[in-house]
Chains A and B, each alone.
Chain A
C-alpha cells in the first residue's frame, strides 16, 4: 500500500535531495524530486503526488512559502517541512509538520507516516 504513496521531495541542494529520496524509497515510498519551488509546483500540476517534503531554507521561495502556494492550489495535499536551522518561521502553519533535519531518517519516515495516516492516505499504522 505504501508503494502507491508518491512523495515529492524538494530541496535546492542535490546531495541531500538524493539521499533523502533514497531513504524514503528504502522506506517504501515512491519519490519524485524537484530542486526548486517553481519546479515543485510544475510537478504537482502534471503528476499525482500524495505528500510534499520540502526543505525550509531555499533560495527564492522558502518551504513555508511553497507550502502556502501548494495549499492554495491543492488544499488537501499535506506538506512536511524540514529545517536545519533552529527557528520556526512565523508562517509555519501552512505546513502540516515542521521537522528538524537532525531528527534522523527513521523519525522522518515516522513523521511522514503519521501525517499520511492522519490524512487518511495511509490506513496502516505500522510501516516497517
Chain B
C-alpha cells in the first residue's frame, strides 16, 4: 500500500442516518468509505477489503459492537485491525473497551464531535497505511534477501567448481590469515588430507631457504591488507619442490575491513626451467656469435657479408679490409660508391668487373653459390693482389635472398711461389738424380724425369701413391726414426734399398729435407748400385789378397822348417851309423812328419797361381775334372748327368776352386763303388737381399751309400772321415774353408730312399750378376725335387 492509496474505512451502524452523518464527517478525509448496516455486513466487507479502520456502533441489533469486535479478534487477519467504538458513555462499555487494549482500539462517545472523529479515523487510517507500507517493505526486503542468498549460494558453488577446476592451487583464509579452505588441486599437489591441511603452518611445505622471507611478507601484507605476491618453491607429495607464483588478495566487507583472503599458487617450475633454458641458449648464442665474430676478425681469409639484396651495405673482416685497402668497419660495397671513389677494382682475366659481375652480386642474382675462382684486386694506391674466392647467397626464413657472404684468400705469394716452382721444376727435370717430393704421409707430390728414368715409373703412375710402398723401400733404420730426424733436424741422409718397376733392386744414396711449414719432404736419390758393387768387388778382392798374404807368411814360416826337418829325417833314416832301433825311431818320426807335410800341403800348399783372383768359369773347371775322372766313372759304372745354365763365371783362384770340386766329386765317386748317378747342376740364383747379386749355385748329387744321420753334423769337421784309412778327413773341412773365403756356403743333405740314398752337396758362391748371362733361375729349388728326379731315374733302370 503506497502512501497515497486510499484507506478503506468501514462504517458499521444500523441507522442509515448515522452512516450518512459519518460519511459527511469523514468525507473530507478523502479515504474510501464503506458502509455496513449490520455486523454480518461488516464481516463480509472485512473479508472483501483490506480495512484500515472499523467505525463500530456498539449498540446494534443482532450483533452488537463488542460481539463484532470479539469475532474480529478471533480472526488472525483482523486481530490488528483498528476499531473505533461509537457509544453513549457507559462505564461498563468503557471497561469492555479496555479489554481490547491489546489491539488498536479507541472509542468516541456520543454525540460525536466531527473533528474528533475525523482526527481519530485519520490517525488510524494513517497508521494502517503506514503499517501496510512497512509490511510491503518487509516483504520486499525478505524477497530480496532470499534472492540474494540464493545468488550467493549459487555463486559460491560456481566459485568452488571453478577453483577446483583451475590448474593453480587455490586457498581461502580468514581475516587472520588462517586458511580454512583449499581447492582440490592443492590436495593433489601436496598430497595432504583435509584434516591435515586445516590450520596448516605453511612453514612445513615451503622450501626452507624461502620460508622466512615468504612468511614475513605474508604477515606484512596481512597487516596492511594489501595484495600479496611471492615466488617460492612448495613441496609436492613426491617430496620434490616446485616453483610457484603465489598471490593473495584481501576480500573486504562493506565496511572495508578484510573479511577473507583469497589466494592462488601457480606452478611456474616449467616456466622457470624454460626461462633458464632460454637464458642458457641465449648465453650460448651470444658466445657463439662472439666466437664467430672473433674468428671472422682473426681469420686470415677475407670474409664479407652483404646485408641486403642490393649489396648496399657490406661489412668485411680485418683480413678482407686489409686485402682491399679499406678501413676496418668500412662499408666495402661498390654499389654505394663513396665520395672518394672506389677503393679498389676487381679484375678477372684482365678486365674490370662491373657491379653486377661481382661475386656476391652474382650469388644474389642467381640465388646459387659462385664457385671458387681467381680475381685480381687493384687498389687505389696502385698495388694489386691475386685472390681466390667464392660467394654464396643468404636466404631469409621465406627462402628469399636477403644477402650474400663471400670468402677471399690472398694467393699472391702462392702464385709467385708457383711461378718460382715452375721455374725450379724445369731445373729439377734436368737433374739426373731422382727428385721427389712427398707429404708427411708419404704421398708422392712430385716426381722428376730423373726419377722416371731411375725407377721406370711414369709420373702419372705414381703421383698420389705412397711412394715408398711403390718402391718397396728398405730403410736402414726404423722409418719412424728417420721421420723424427727429419722433423727435428730438417735433414736425413742415408742409403735406401729400393725396387725399380722391373723389380730390379737398387741402392740409392738418399738425401731428404723437410722444411717446417711446407708439410712436404724433398728427396734426392742417387743410384749408387753400380758403385756399391764395384766397391764390394774391390773389397772382396782385397780381402782374398790379404788372406793370401797371411797364408803365405804362415806357409813360409812352417814349410821352410818342415822341409829342413824332412830332409834331416831323410838323411838320418838312411845313416849307416844308426842301429835298427834308432832307424825305427827315425822312420816313426819321418812318418809323422809326412802327415804334417801332407796337412800343410793341403791347407797352405800350392793352390794359387797368383796373388790376384781371376775370372774363373766353374763349368770349365768342372769339365776339366770330369775329363780327369772319366776313367774312374767308367770303372765304377757311374753315369754323369750335367746341366749348366750358366758358365758360372766367378772371381777367384782356379786351383782353390778345383780342389773344392775335386773333393766333392771324389767323395761322390767313392760313395758309389757299385755305380750310380752323379748329377751336377750349375745355375744362378738372384739374391734379393743384395740387390743385383746373383749367387752361383753348384750342386753335386750322388746316389751312393749316403751320409749316416749321426755323421751329418760332423762331415765338415777336420779329421772326420768315413773312409777309414783312405781319407785324411780334411777334404770337406778345407773345401768349406775355401768356400767361406768366397763368402759362400757349402751345405749338404742326404735322403734315404727305398732304393739307395741321395746325397747332395750344394755350393753357393755370391758374386755380382754377370749381365751377359740372362737366366736367373732356381736350379736347386729343393733337394726333394732333385731326389724325386733321381728316384725316377733309378726306377727306370
Within 8 A of A (CB), among B462-479: none
List residues of chain B with CB within 8 A of the CB of A26. Answer: 570-571, 574
Nearest CB of A to B575, in Å: 9
Of B270-278, B450-458, B553-561, the one with at least 4 CB within 8 A of chain A: B553-561
Q: Is B413 an interface residue (CB 8 A)?
A: no
Of A44-52, A68-76, A85-93, the one with at least 4 CB within 8 A of chain B: A85-93
Alpha-carbon distance A84/B563, docked complex (angstroms): 8
Contact A83 B606 (CB under 8 A): yes
Alpha-carbon distance A34/B553, docked complex (angstroms): 24
List residues of chain A with CB within 8 A of the CB of B566. Answer: 102, 104-105
Q: Which residue of A lies closest to B575 (CB)?
A: A26
Nearest CB of A to B603, in Å: 8
Q: Which residue of A lies closest to B607 (CB)?
A: A86
A102 contact from B552, B562, B574, B609, Cβ within 8 A = B562
Contact B606 A86 (CB under 8 A): yes
Q: Is B594 an interface residue (CB 8 A)?
A: yes
Within 8 A of A (CB), among B495-516: none
Contact B551 A16 (CB under 8 A): no
Contact B571 A84 (CB under 8 A): no
Q: Which residue of A lies closest to B567 (CB)?
A: A19
Q: Is A42 an interface residue (CB 8 A)?
A: no
Q: Is A23 an interface residue (CB 8 A)?
A: yes
Interface string of A27-62 (1 = CB under 8 A from B): 000000000000000000000000000000100000
B571 contact from A15, A16, A19, A88, Cβ within 8 A = A19
Within 8 A of A (CB), among B524-559: 548, 551-553, 555-556, 558-559
B608 contact from A20, A88, A104, A106, Cβ within 8 A = A88
Contact B601 A102 (CB under 8 A): yes
Nearest CB of B to A11, in Å: 9
List residues of chain A with CB within 8 A of the CB of B597. Answer: 102-104
Q: Which residue of B lies closest to A16 (CB)?
A: B564
Alpha-carbon distance A81/B321, docked complex (angstroms): 101
Nearest CB of B to A58, in Å: 11
Alpha-carbon distance A26/B567, docked complex (angstroms): 11
Alpha-carbon distance A98/B606, docked complex (angstroms): 10
Q: Is B605 an interface residue (CB 8 A)?
A: yes
- Given A26-B571, A104-B594, verify A86-B604 contact (CB < 8 Å): yes
Contact A86 B564 (CB under 8 A): no
List residues of chain B with CB within 8 A of the CB of A23. Answer: 567, 570-571
Nearest CB of A to B738, in Å: 12
Contact A86 B571 (CB under 8 A): no
List residues of chain A with CB within 8 A of the CB of B87. Answer: none
Q: Is B611 an interface residue (CB 8 A)?
A: yes
Q: Is B151 an interface residue (CB 8 A)?
A: no
Contact B601 A85 (CB under 8 A): no
A88 contact from B553, B560, B600, B609, Cβ within 8 A = B609
Contact A19 B574 (CB under 8 A): no
List residues of chain B with CB within 8 A of the CB of A13. Answer: 560, 564
List residues of chain B with CB within 8 A of the CB of A119. Answer: none
Q: Is B610 an interface residue (CB 8 A)?
A: yes
Alpha-carbon distance A82/B566, docked complex (angstroms): 14
Q: Which residue of A lies closest to B551 (CB)?
A: A86
List residues of chain B with CB within 8 A of the CB of A89. Answer: 610
A-B CB contact pairs (8 Å), 28 listed: A13-B560, A15-B564, A19-B563, A20-B567, A22-B567, A22-B571, A26-B570, A26-B574, A57-B556, A84-B562, A85-B556, A85-B604, A86-B551, A86-B605, A86-B606, A87-B548, A87-B611, A88-B608, A101-B559, A101-B560, A101-B562, A102-B559, A102-B562, A102-B563, A102-B601, A105-B566, A105-B570, A106-B570
The 8 A-B pairs of least Cβ separation, nearest first, read A84-B559, A101-B563, A19-B567, A105-B570, A102-B597, A85-B552, A16-B564, A84-B560
Residues of A within 8 A of B (CB): 13, 15-16, 19-20, 22-23, 26, 57, 82-90, 98, 100-106
Residues of B within 8 A of A (CB): 548, 551-553, 555-556, 558-564, 566-568, 570-571, 574, 594, 597, 600-601, 604-611
